[in-house]
Structure 1
Amino acid sequence: MTERTRRPNKGLADLLAEACWLNGEFARAVNRTGTESGLRLRYDDSAVCHWLTGTMPRPQVRAVILETFARRLHRPVTAREAGFPLAAEASTEPDPDTVTGLVEFGSADMDPSRRSVLGAGLYSVAVAVPGWPDNIDRFARLSRDPHTGIGYREVEAVVAMTEKISELDDRFGGRAARPMAAAFLVNTIGPYLRADAPPDVRRAMLSAAADHCYLTGYMAMDERSDGLAQGYYIKALELTLAASDHLAYCTTLRGMSVQAVNLGHAQLSLQLADAASAASPEAGPRMRAFLAGQQAHAAAATGDRNTALMKIGEAEVAMERAEAQAKTFGSYAPSSLSYHLAQVRYELGDREQSVTHLDESNHARHDSYQRYKVLRTALGAERKLELGRLEEACRDWHWALDGYAHVQSGRCDDRVNAMLAALRPYLRNSNARSVYERGRLLAPSGAKIT
């Protein structure tokens, strides 16, 4: 666009006014959002002035601008609204063929040359979440290959593989296990979803595929590839809809809520947690605790004290009922409830109780959950330091580093870098200096500091 044909961008100006941003404030917000996708942006108010007079940002930056406005305005913002060419706007519609979209997504994740690009994708607060259909038999719409067939044996194989990869993920971290999960998704699950099968087998395979897709997204989140994780979660939701699997649908929404609150998007987290609870069928007490605990954490993060306390109370009552029944396997255990109690107390300003509950959570979790131990122990150490308990914090950080040497996890990387930042003012203390030097040797280069 030449100087003579350039036109002022009224759409961008209107969005700036709606967001109540000055040019410099908007530029800094764009820079912060860009950092999440690996872009080192250095825009200032003069760049915004150029955009307002008609200079078009490059396509990669346009996507960042749209997401920046979406986060400020708490709604989707389109390319058309911002005065950008429509090519800058990513489609928010689900793939018309769920299986094709899933295989293409997984194939790109398998390609080493594309993984870094995928991993740098932006996490969107305006992502379209497919709702639970009332009377739509979606799985019948998916195309099938009449030349191949599957039975429950293939379903059992997918379930067993997912469980095995989950065990590896818990022990060693997402970075170690996700390439295997993506390959299995493309090479084995994809063809199974295309194969001919009786309706009951087909639904069971779709549910098993949804669980595997959710796990793959969880591991991407553990690597801190948050945009990629969000993409896997959306694919998992599509599969749960195709399978009419209420439980998996609610579990996936809850996982998306966990990701959102950990990234600081508290209002979105609460919306997702509430949606998971509202969509849940007649749930047993463990599932009720599972959902209410996350609602409590999200509500506390928004500052809604009354709702947070009400929901954590519901979670405690439901967990008591679950533990009184016959013991069955469940991902939400007393250690998980203790963690939610810790997060709620911390968000509401009670740091002492938060530390107590974090310690309880660690003691209740089996040692095979190595990454969990690293994350929770390091988080507890950070909060003990906030309370002035330096010696205890250093002891806990040493314990965390014992496990950190054996995991490959972006979230654990973040906690180690946070430890280094927190300890720098205390390096005259011999214990602080000891754990600092140990952590400095183990910390990866280029990891995010939170």
Structure 2
Amino acid sequence: MARRRNERLAELLEEAGWSRAQAASAFNRVAQENKLLDYTSIGRSHVSMWVGGTEPSGAAPAILCQALSRRLKRAITPDELGFASPHSPAQGTLDWDVDPLIVLTDLGRIDLDADRRKLIGGAVYSVAPLTLPGERWWQAMTQASQRTTPRQQQVGRGDVTMVEELTVAFSRMDQQRGGGHGRTAVVQYLHSDVADFLQGKFPSDQVRRDMFSAAGELAYLSAWMAFDNAEHAVAQRYFVLAAKLAARADNPPLVGHILRAMAHQALDLGFFKESLELSTASLEGQRYAAATPRERALLGVVHARGLATNGQQQAAAQSLLKAEDDLASARDGIHEPHRTFFFSGAALAHETACTLRDCGDRGGAIRQFRQSIRTRGAAFRRTHAVTLGYLGATQIANRSVEEACATWSGLLDAMEEGIYSGRARQAVYDVRKLLSPYRHRGIPVVAELDARAASYLARVD
């Protein structure tokens, strides 16, 4: 019996303005980002078969839907295309209603086993968990921890301090080398010692809440490192876990910090509507009101970026001004949480530049990117590389090809010093892509940089 043509898929490809080859290229890019190497060789013939009625297998429906969602800037689901949703044993960890201690145990069993880890790697970043639960859920999470039956292990203030200090050390390493360096050690500690602490006996409710906060920050760091290394499905699971632990701790500013990071990830992956919803939620109530000035500024600039990508330029400008005021009010004597240590004037300039770029102000974006590069300290090499990549991309979009090449030369210098970051590595892929229109024009700096980028990627891929 002849297969029935998938008219809905054909309509969406037409709406996206994609040929079959372009759709295949977008599909392969999403598969590569999610480390789904078995799905990175899709060609135009595969897309033609799907339009013709053949259903994609395995994780392919989710990959295709994510590619279309990014292009069309709205959520496209497998159900909408008549595809069966891919089964993933790790999918349950995204359920907001699953107890965080159960999630922590399940993620540990998977993430620390090379074979089982493929269960997470075989999943795709999903739009479903970006819809946050209602206020009653957050209240219930705070109350649930008070009903937990503890084990016999005694957990004290010194244990909390130890988790906090190790998180600080891992966080500084992440800023220096990128999320691809040392995350296994973070995960190991989280799933062994810290998981046991969370089920121990506490001398007071304050110590209990502080331990859950410390665990939430470490889970957040694991998520951020995975996000930075382009392991997006893994990162998403740890972000949700971190938010649950922060809710158990009754720590609204930490919840806001995590939602801000989830918004950042959604923004980078092209889920603009969902990103704005998450960044808006990060500013609600005590998440912003109880936060310190530096953290308020961080929440504000990510919100500004979300507004910009959703076409709300005036609101984005207002959000930037408010973030500037918040950061200006940070001063000695105000105890800031360590998780904000990286957010300085240089980081504000970087995020401001991204916002201006997304508003169409390339000149303003270039000035802010340069300001960020000039003022960032040596302790933040990973973000420095990312900023150089973004600056070069903005310069070449502004037809300043030789300036872009000079900027990207600095990016490659930074990467060759040992940065393990998927975001920074993606910037090098973008170098080759953005240089392609100029590759055969006989411009010496283009040829030299293109060859250097190709050599670097051949070594690291």
Give TM-score scaled by structure 1 length. 0.84
Superposed displacement of residue 414, structure 1: 0.9
Q: Is residue 2:419 matched to residue 1:407? A: yes
Q: Gaps spanning 5+ residues in structure 2: where?
A: none
Aligned to 2:300: 292
2:278 is the counterpart of 1:266: no
Amino acid at match of 1:235: L
Q: CA deviation at 1:418?
A: 1.4
For 1:46-445, list aligned pairs within 5 A: 46-50=49-53, 57-64=56-63, 74=74, 82=82, 84=84, 90-91=91-92, 93-94=95-96, 96-127=98-129, 128-132=131-135, 133-134=138-139, 136-145=142-151, 147-198=152-203, 199-279=205-285, 280-282=287-289, 283-322=291-330, 330-331=340-341, 332-405=343-416, 406-424=418-436, 425-426=438-439, 428-444=442-458
CA apart distance, 1:187 = 1.5
Following TM superposition, by how much is the alpha carbon of 1:444 offset from its aligned partner in structure 2, in angstroms? 4.3
Residues 352-361 or 29-38, more deviating: 29-38
Give the drift of 1:166.
0.9
Cα distance in 2 for residues equivalent to 1:192 and 1:350: 49
Q: What do the CA deviations read for 1:110-163 (whole angstroms, capped 9, x no partner)?
A: 222344552352111222434452465121244521x21110111111111111
Against the structure 1 CA distance between its residues 324 and 392, is the aligned structure 2 distance closer, same or farther, given a 3 Å change threshold? farther
CA-to-aligned-CA distance 1:295-343 (integer Å, 9 cap, x gap): 1111111111121112112112222222597696643321121112211
Identity of aligned residues (%): 23
176 and 82 in structure 1: CA distance in 2 versus 1, 3 angstrom threshold: same
Tell me how far apart the structure 1 counterparts of residues 86 and 360 of structure 2 sit (CA, whole Å).
45
Whether contact under 8 Å (2:178, 2:225) holds in the other structure is yes
Cα offset, 1:109, TM superposition: 1.6
Q: Over aligned residue pairs, what C-alpha RMSD do you find? A: 3.4
Q: Cα 1:201–1:350, aligned 2, differ >3 Å: closer, same or farther?
A: same
User: How far did residue 395 of structure 1 move?
Assistant: 2.4
What secondary structure is seen at the aligned counterpart in 2 of 1:50?
coil
Find the aligned partners of 1:121 and 1:398 in 2 and give their Cα distance.
35
* Inter-partner Cα distance in structure 2 for 1:438 and 1:76: 38
Tell me if the contact between 1:23 and 1:44 (Cα under 8 Å) persists in the aligned partners. Answer: no
Determine the C-alpha separation between the residues in 1 that align with 2:65 and 2:404. Answer: 41
The C-alpha deviation readout for 1:351-388, integer Å capped at 9, x for no partner, is 11101100111222111111111111122122222223
| Unaligned runs of at least 5 residues, structure 1 | none
Contact 1:391 1:431 in 2 (8 A): yes
User: Which stretch of the first structure deviates more once superposed, 27-36 or 120-129?
Assistant: 27-36
Q: What amino acid does structure 2 have at the position aligned with 1:240?
A: A
Inter-partner Cα distance in structure 1 for 2:100 and 2:259:
18
Could you tell me how far apart the structure 2 residues matched to 1:364 and 1:251 are?
24
The number of residues matched between the two structures is: 433
